């Protein structure tokens, strides 16, 4: 018996890198959340020179953890470092950015209705955004503003909102979202690679040389670590945002991103406060208000965009009327054997070849092609508003064969 193997290397590579990215991200964010929890639960030690300690129980055992603000008098032989989780998260994320959004820039990044960019131009803008994000953030931290975390956070947030607005003006909004996330991820890993780990190495070197470590090294590392902690939820939202076209498909996607990003920061602040004796009422109220504003704005805009067009004089369209529209604008990707460059299999397994198959996913088609107008990606096939209205009327009438 002969077995024919049709292996799509690109798809398997995409899966492997995405799996690595998710796994490394869980490990990195998990350790970030844990150490913030640990710091917030430290109590003055009953004995010894540690600055704080905490007892905990997990997995059938008891743990006694102590913290030294600067460093202990002597170092143990076995010292654990937390860095590779961050490095592998960024490396795998950047590999995905290249594989999906740079190699596939024509489909996933460039929107010629917004800016007529070449692939090289789009990649250059994307990479420049990552570099600019780090330079601005690091400059803020090293400036006098860096002494006030709250003021620094406001300015940094304002810069990110401006970056989101600018990227949404030149890129497909989905690609713009991912680049804002990549900017945040780059800042977070650069904090580890450029500040936190080097400062820790300097402290270790000072101890080995019999010197007293500079307390400013630990203070700077702690500040960057706290910043990373607050940036995690906005990054996680962006990682899943491409599943929710109502967000990046809004009329002002940068504003939706700003509202939901601020909500994520507020929620993270609530959880951080809960691990201390500080009151959480005000922070919870802010988070709830931001969430309410976000949901209200997105829902209101979705409702406005989804307003049904006036029915045609001869009644609702039939499938025979919308089938040519689907063939022209959708079947290049959503076919058993896609003909679109770079698409080996129908995205999400959706094949729009029969009336029954189309009717089964009609609500999703309405959301991305009629209401949000994000499909086809970058509108590379030139789908008109009239065609979208025709498709919407057919779906509103029941998507009947």
How large is the average pLDDT for residues 37-62? Answer: 89
What angle do the packed helices 215-241 and 173-190 form, to 10 degrees? 160
9 — pLDDT class (breaks 50, 70, 90): confident
319 — pLDDT class (breaks 50, 70, 90): confident
How large is the average pLDDT for residues 283-310? Answer: 74
Q: How far apart are CA 384 and CA 371, in angstroms?
A: 13
pLDDT at residue 144 is higher than 90 = yes
pLDDT at residue 11 is higher than 80 = no
Where residue 311 falls (left for φ over 0; alpha for ψ -120 to 50; beta otherwise) is beta
> Are residues 227 and 157 in contact, defined by beta-carbon separation less than 8 angstroms?
no
pLDDT at residue 262 is higher than 60 = yes
Alpha-helix runs per DSSP H in 278-384? 281-305, 319-329, 355-360, 362-365
User: How far does CA 1 lie from the centroid of its chain?
Assistant: 47
312 — pLDDT class (breaks 50, 70, 90): low
Q: Could you check whether the bond before residue 109 is cis, i.e. omega within 30 degrees of 0?
A: no
pLDDT, the chain, mean: 87
Q: How far apart are CA 199 and CA 192, in angstroms?
A: 10
pTM as predicted: 0.83
243 — pLDDT class (breaks 50, 70, 90): confident
307 — pLDDT class (breaks 50, 70, 90): very low
Q: How far apart are CA 125 and CA 86, in angstroms?
A: 24
How large is the average pLDDT for residues 40-68? Answer: 89
pLDDT at residue 70 is higher than 80 = no
pLDDT at residue 315 is higher than 80 = no
302 — pLDDT class (breaks 50, 70, 90): low
Residue 309 or residue 198, greater confidence: 198
> Are residues 274 and 339 in contact, defined by beta-carbon separation less than 8 angstroms?
no
Q: According to the model, what pLDDT value does residue 177 have?
A: 96
pLDDT at residue 368 is higher than 60 = yes
Alpha-helix runs per DSSP H in 242-280? 245-248, 253-274
pLDDT at residue 138 is higher than 80 = yes
160: enclosing H helix or E strand = helix 149-170
How large is the average pLDDT for residues 178-205? Answer: 95
How large is the average pLDDT for residues 320-343? Answer: 86
Q: According to the model, what pLDDT value does residue 337 have?
A: 86
Q: How far apart are CA 208 and CA 78, in angstroms?
A: 14
pLDDT at residue 309 is higher than 80 = no
333 — pLDDT class (breaks 50, 70, 90): confident
Q: Output the CA angle 319-322-325, nearest 5 degrees.
A: 150
How large is the average pLDDT for residues 251-263? Answer: 92
338-361 pLDDT per residue, tens: 888 777 778 878 888 888 888 888
Q: According to the model, what pLDDT value does residue 166 have?
A: 97
């Amino acid at each position: 018996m002969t077995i024919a193997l049709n292996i799509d290397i690109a798809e398997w590579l995409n899966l492997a890198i995405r799996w690595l990215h998710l796994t490394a991200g869980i490990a990195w964010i998990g350790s970030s959340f844990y150490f913030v929890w640990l710091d917030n639960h430290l109590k003055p030690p009953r004995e010894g020179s540690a600055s704080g300690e905490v007892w905990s129980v997990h997995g059938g055992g008891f743990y006694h953890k102590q913290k030294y603000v600067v460093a202990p008098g002597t170092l143990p032989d076995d010292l654990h470092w937390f860095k590779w989780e961050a490095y592998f998260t960024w490396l795998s994320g950047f590999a995905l950015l290249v594989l999906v959004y740079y190699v596939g820039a024509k489909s996933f990044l460039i929107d010629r209705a917004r800016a007529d960019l070449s692939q090289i131009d789009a990649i250059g803008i994307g990479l420049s955004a990552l570099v600019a994000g780090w330079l601005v953030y690091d400059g803020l931290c090293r400036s006098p503003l860096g002494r006030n975390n709250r003021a620094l956070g406001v300015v940094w947030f304002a810069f990110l909102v401006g970056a989101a607005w600018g990227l949404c003006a030149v890129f497909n909004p989905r690609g713009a979202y991912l680049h804002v996330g990549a900017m945040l991820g780059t800042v977070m890993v650069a904090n580890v690679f450029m500040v936190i780990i080097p400062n820790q190495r300097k402290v270790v070197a000072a101890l080995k040389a019999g010197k007293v470590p500079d307390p400013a090294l630990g203070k700077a590392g702690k500040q960057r670590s706290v910043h990373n902690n607050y940036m995690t939820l906005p990054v996680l939202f962006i990682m899943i945002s491409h599943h929710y076209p109502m967000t990046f498909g809004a009329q002002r996607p940068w504003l939706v991103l700003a509202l939901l990003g601020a909500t994520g920061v507020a929620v993270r602040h609530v959880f951080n406060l809960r691990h201390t004796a500080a009151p959480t009422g005000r922070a919870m109220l802010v988070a709830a208000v931001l969430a309410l504003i976000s949901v209200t704005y997105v829902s209101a805009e979705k409702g406005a965009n989804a307003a049904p067009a006036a029915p045609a004089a001869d009644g609702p369209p039939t499938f025979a009327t919308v089938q040519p529209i689907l063939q022209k604008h959708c079947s290049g990707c959503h076919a058993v054997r896609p003909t679109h460059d770079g698409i080996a299999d129908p995205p999400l397994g959706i094949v729009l070849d029969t009336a029954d198959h189309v009717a089964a996913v009609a609500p999703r088609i309405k959301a991305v092609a009629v209401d949000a107008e994000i499909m086809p990606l970058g509108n590379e096939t030139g789908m008109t508003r009239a065609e979208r209205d025709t498709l919407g009327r057919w779906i509103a009438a029941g998507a009947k064969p």
